[in-house]
Chain A
Amino acid sequence: MSEARLVQGNEACARGALAAGCTFYGGYPITPSSEIAEHMVRLLPDAGGVFVQMEDEIASLAAVIGASLAGSKAMTATSGPGFSLMQEHIGFATMAEVPCVVVDVMRGGPSTGLPTSPSQGDVMQARWGTHGDHPAIVLAPSSVGEVFDLTVRAFNLAERFRTPVILIYDEVIGHTRESVRLPDQVEIIDRVRPAPDSVDFRPKAAGPNGVPPLPAFGDGHRFHVTGLSHDERGFPTDDGAVAGALLSRIHSKVADHEDEISAAETFMLDDAEVAFFAYGIVGRSAREAVLRVREAGIKAGLIRPTTLWPFPGRQVAVAAKQVDKVIVAEMNLGQLIGEVERAAAGQAEVVGHLRADGEPITPSELVGAVTAAGGGN
């Protein structure tokens, strides 16, 4: 561990990326994510990496995908409007199975919206923003330290499952400075590569865990990469059986490892009668609210997912059997609340505390929400 020092959320993201082995950054400036690029351009060259400012966000993610196929661990970062532009290539990276990390520092939307204010309005876009059926891995940190940890995790999951991974957090997390000790060493997972002399190499034949080994361009395997539906040789086909099998493999490689990918922290949930469901900065407000209402004798607890997608439905279902009420607090007009309702399946009452005016949800507000909801009764 290094010395404790004040680190901004966006800086922690850049440092996490470096720790994870990132050697390529391509991006386009946008508030409130630009500090990630500004740290990357200073840190990457000395780590042997390359930084490029592209002409837009579409190009940024394209460059990242090109660099990843060249064997680099690569990332980009953006916010709202830029995240919309990236959807095309999130789909491409999913279909072509190119590992990469996309960071979305959420600001108020839709459109240019509230450029300098926090929001959690992109969590459904992170799941379903690109067209077609596809899996999504989306991680959501609540603190500066967790931004670092989950950036590392995002790279590891991207490499392990050969897929884009989205790290999503709001403007408050991005711009908050906290005193943290960043670890000097982290666990690093690298993509599986085929043996250099493997004959009849099939770039899309499932290896262990349903994930095909991925060589780098230029390393001796000549192969084709396409966003069209393709066979195990990576070659386009419109054969329905082959297309169906490809899509279901791409889906299952994530779905079959849901337990490994999903993660939610619980706080004082054991005897709770009312539970908050909150993520990102709201997760921290909710934690504080739990402590405050407990002082008033109300048994409250918290479920704080750090993986939003795949949705940690099982943890919610278990909690719903035990508590009377789940209060879903999010800085949007109701996005993950639908998932919580689905997972709770009528076992607990699900109510929302929703806010989309550019202001973060405070602990006092949530204390009020518990009282208004009648405590645990």
Chain B
Amino acid sequence: MADVKTYLREWAMPHVLCPGCAHGIVMRGFLAAIDQLQLDQDKVAVVAGIGCSSRIVGYIDFCTLHGTHGRAPAFASGLKLARPDLHVMVITGDGDGLAIGGNHLIHAARRNIDITVMLLNNSIYGMTGGQAAPTTPEGAVASTTPAGNTEPNFDACKLMIGAGASFVARVLAANPIEMSKVIADGVRHPGFSFIEIISDCPEYYGRYNKVGGGADMLTWMARRDAGVAVPLSEKKFVEHVPSSAVPLGMTTGVLERDIRPVFTGVRRQEPL
């Protein structure tokens, strides 16, 4: 890989992420994917919402749009429709992408617009101080669920497959090599690609649930990896486990890949 600094805005450092936060590993993995793809740096546009995960776009040297909470897929859709020659990507969080922005995400998936969404799932709202997210497992402690979460949580990948996303994958921050490879695959995929990246939040999730610091959380994450060795049709998603702060396993890898017509808006098909 080229020097990672090629893709960083060093002048914008230091970054806002806490020491030990896996979002930093994801940022590095994303840049490695861009490097693998050898994309023209000027033609990459990365759009984000609001959250610790979304703050990544401030530090990477592309055209970057740090929009509003949850709306990144909508900003990105306008950008892509107006400039189809750009590689448009979205970095979002689990709160950003699945709570306030859930509607934008499912419609971008349904349209099969050619953008890549990376959703950094740390099972909590990091930026605002550790409140429960739609991904917080049942039983887990957050600042708004002091006695343990009583709501069922989303499986983001199932949601995206249901919405019609033509490329869906789950990868772990604990496995950065695989992560970069899958992100690159997603960017190459013609149509909407969705990659759930299991990240963490040692500052809040780790502390509240007593699962240790950054390194402990990565180890814990790696242990949960159930891998993907079988086609989707035969795969079992992790079953709903009530009152467990720790899901027992997670299917990772590419869960859906299909070639479908790509949405380009209502426009003239041949140039004027």
Taking the closest CB of chain B, its distance from the CB of A74, in whole angstroms, is 7
Q: Is A70 an interface residue (CB 8 A)?
A: yes
Taking the closest CB of chain B, its distance from the CB of A25, in whole angstroms, is 9
B-contacting residues, A99-154, CB 8 Å: none
Please indicate the chain B residues that have their CB under 8 angstroms from the CB of A41 in the complex. Answer: 266
B-contacting residues, A195-243, CB 8 Å: 216-228, 233, 235-236
Cα(A65)–Cα(B271), bound, Å = 24
Taking the closest CB of chain A, its distance from the CB of B85, in whole angstroms, is 7
**Contact between B86 and A218 (Cβ–Cβ < 8 Å)?**
yes
**Contact between A63 and B78 (Cβ–Cβ < 8 Å)?**
yes
- Across the two chains, which residue of chain A brings its CB closest to B70? A58
**Contact between B78 and A64 (Cβ–Cβ < 8 Å)?**
yes
Taking the closest CB of chain B, its distance from the CB of A250, in whole angstroms, is 17
| Option from A67, A92, A217, A235 in Cβ contact (under 8 Å) with B12 | A235
Please indicate the chain A residues that have their CB under 8 angstroms from the CB of B67 in the complex. Answer: 62, 65, 92, 227
Q: Is B57 an interface residue (CB 8 A)?
A: yes
Please indicate the chain B residues that have their CB under 8 angstroms from the CB of A63 in the complex. Answer: 74-75, 77-78, 81
Taking the closest CB of chain A, its distance from the CB of B62, in whole angstroms, is 6
Please indicate the chain B residues that have their CB under 8 angstroms from the CB of A49 in the complex. Answer: 267
| Option from B57, B66, B68, B266 in Cβ contact (under 8 Å) with A52 | B266
Cα(A26)–Cα(B104), bound, Å = 14
**Contact between A67 and B42 (Cβ–Cβ < 8 Å)?**
no
Majority SS at the chain A contact face: mixed
Taking the closest CB of chain B, its distance from the CB of A157, in whole angstroms, is 21
Q: Is A55 an interface residue (CB 8 A)?
A: yes
A-contacting residues, B97-130, CB 8 Å: 103-104, 107
Cα(A236)–Cα(B66), bound, Å = 10
**Contact between B74 and A48 (Cβ–Cβ < 8 Å)?**
no
Cα(A54)–Cα(B78), bound, Å = 10
**Contact between A45 and B268 (Cβ–Cβ < 8 Å)?**
yes
| Option from B57, B78, B272 in Cβ contact (under 8 Å) with A65 | B78
Please indicate the chain B residues that have their CB under 8 angstroms from the CB of A92 in the complex. Answer: 67-68
Q: Is B43 an interface residue (CB 8 A)?
A: yes
Q: Is B58 an interface residue (CB 8 A)?
A: yes
Q: Is B25 an interface residue (CB 8 A)?
A: no
B-contacting residues, A134-187, CB 8 Å: none
Cα(A74)–Cα(B265), bound, Å = 14
**Contact between A72 and B82 (Cβ–Cβ < 8 Å)?**
yes
| Option from A50, A59, A224 in Cβ contact (under 8 Å) with B64 | A224
**Contact between B43 and A52 (Cβ–Cβ < 8 Å)?**
no
B-contacting residues, A39-93, CB 8 Å: 41, 44-46, 48-52, 54-56, 58-60, 62-72, 74, 88-89, 92
Taking the closest CB of chain B, its distance from the CB of A31, in whole angstroms, is 21
| Option from A46, A54, A58, A228 in Cβ contact (under 8 Å) with B77 | A54
**Contact between B83 and A218 (Cβ–Cβ < 8 Å)?**
yes
Q: Specify which of A41, A219, A222, A233 lies most central, judged by the most chain B CB atoms within 10 Å of its CB.
A: A222
A-contacting residues, B45-65, CB 8 Å: 45, 47, 57-58, 61-65
Q: Is A311 an interface residue (CB 8 A)?
A: no
**Contact between A69 and B79 (Cβ–Cβ < 8 Å)?**
yes
Contact with A along B148-161 (1 / 0, CB 8 A): 00000000000000
Contact with A along B231-272 (1 / 0, CB 8 A): 000000000000000000000000000000000111110011
- Across the two chains, which residue of chain B brings its CB closest to A54? B74
Q: Contacts A66-B47, A225-B64 known; A74 to B82 CB distance under 8 Å?
A: yes
**Contact between A66 and B62 (Cβ–Cβ < 8 Å)?**
no
**Contact between B268 and A46 (Cβ–Cβ < 8 Å)?**
yes
Please indicate the chain B residues that have their CB under 8 angstroms from the CB of A233 in the complex. Answer: 11
The size of the chain A interface, using a CB distance under 8 A, is 49
**Contact between A48 and B268 (Cβ–Cβ < 8 Å)?**
yes
Please indicate the chain A residues that have their CB under 8 angstroms from the CB of B144 in the complex. Answer: none
Q: Specify which of A60, A217, A225 lies most central, judged by the most chain B CB atoms within 10 Å of its CB.
A: A217
| Option from A46, A65, A216, A224 in Cβ contact (under 8 Å) with B66 | A224
Q: Is A33 an interface residue (CB 8 A)?
A: no
Q: Is B21 an interface residue (CB 8 A)?
A: no
Please indicate the chain A residues that have their CB under 8 angstroms from the CB of B31 in the complex. Answer: none
Cα(A358)–Cα(B143), bound, Å = 47
Cα(A68)–Cα(B64), bound, Å = 14
Q: Is B179 an interface residue (CB 8 A)?
A: no
**Contact between A59 and B266 (Cβ–Cβ < 8 Å)?**
no
| Option from A59, A69, A218, A227 in Cβ contact (under 8 Å) with B104 | A59
**Contact between A66 and B76 (Cβ–Cβ < 8 Å)?**
yes
Cα(A50)–Cα(B268), bound, Å = 8
**Contact between B82 and A226 (Cβ–Cβ < 8 Å)?**
no
- Across the two chains, which residue of chain A brings its CB closest to B269? A45
**Contact between A26 and B86 (Cβ–Cβ < 8 Å)?**
no
Q: Is B41 an interface residue (CB 8 A)?
A: yes
Cα(A223)–Cα(B107), bound, Å = 28
- Across the two chains, which residue of chain B brings its CB closest to A56? B103
Please indicate the chain A residues that have their CB under 8 angstroms from the CB of B62 in the complex. Answer: 222
**Contact between B78 and A71 (Cβ–Cβ < 8 Å)?**
no
Q: Is B170 an interface residue (CB 8 A)?
A: no
**Contact between B42 and A218 (Cβ–Cβ < 8 Å)?**
yes
What are 25 A-B pairs with beta-carbon distances under 8 A? A48-B271, A51-B265, A54-B107, A55-B103, A58-B104, A59-B103, A59-B107, A62-B68, A62-B74, A62-B78, A66-B74, A66-B75, A67-B79, A67-B82, A70-B86, A217-B63, A219-B42, A221-B63, A222-B62, A222-B63, A224-B9, A224-B57, A227-B66, A227-B67, A227-B68
Q: Which residues of A contact B (CB under 8 A)?
A: 23-24, 26, 41, 44-46, 48-52, 54-56, 58-60, 62-72, 74, 88-89, 92, 216-228, 233, 235-236
New A-B pairs, 13, CB < 8 Å, besides A46-B272, A64-B78, A224-B12: A58-B104, A59-B103, A62-B77, A66-B75, A66-B79, A67-B81, A74-B78, A218-B43, A220-B42, A221-B63, A222-B41, A227-B68, A235-B9
Nearest 5 A/B pairs, CB to CB = A66-B78, A63-B78, A62-B74, A59-B74, A66-B79
